Amino acid sequence: MASAILKRVSASAKSTLVESMRIRASSRAFAAVAVGTDIVSVAPNVSLQKARSWDEGVSSKFSTTPLKDIFKGKKVVIFGLPGAYTGVCSQQHVPSYKNKIDEFKAKGIDSVICVSVNDPYTLNGWAEKLEAKDAIQFFGDFDGRFHKSLELDKDLSVALLGPRSQRWSAYVVDGTVKALNVEEAPSDFKVTGADVILNQI
């Protein structure tokens, strides 16, 4: 009896959390960035941090990667998510791209990138745990500047995450957004998976 009650309470709490995240997201479900936006122009002074171990970070003198080096002259599929080690991100979002990497290559995509408001060391450990580093490039947006510049940031304090990213995906050619998908709420996984973006390339 007690176990059943606890399960109902746990399910209710989870439902309340998800609904709270959805309500907070509803007023800003779509970003200012749109199809036709040049990402480098919108965020000219922003760099991302390639996922790596702490020792690799020290060896590289904590170097960062300018957006032009990531996007210019390339066909890129990029997806953003709320955070490393979180549920939907670990169980659905990253695996959807990892499992379709050969299809992206067949369509001429130069790189598939995952970006999150995390430090690059946390992302590195997460990517290794998911066995996804060979398929996907992981980049940290440690201070959230990239997502703020694109207006794809989201306050997820309700889930004890603080300032994070919305869940989104984009197809970018030479820095210009050709397709963009943003979930209504960060807990959703309806329009940002690999299958959707593959059909938009």
Instruction: Give catalytic residue positions.
Output: 89
Q: Which amino acid is at 89?
A: C
Partners of 165 in beta bridges: 153
How many angstroms separate the first and last alpha carbons of the chain? Answer: 53
Residue owning tokens 């300032």: 163
Q: How many CB atoms lie within 10 A of CB 9?
A: 10
Q: Compute the Cα dihedral for 70, 72, 75, 76 and give only its sign.
A: positive
Q: Which amino acid is at 103?
A: E
Instruction: Give the Cα-Cα-Cα angle 35, 146, 151 (nearest 5 degrees).
Output: 55
Q: Which amino acid is at 184?
A: E
CA dist., res. 31 & res. 182, Å (int): 8
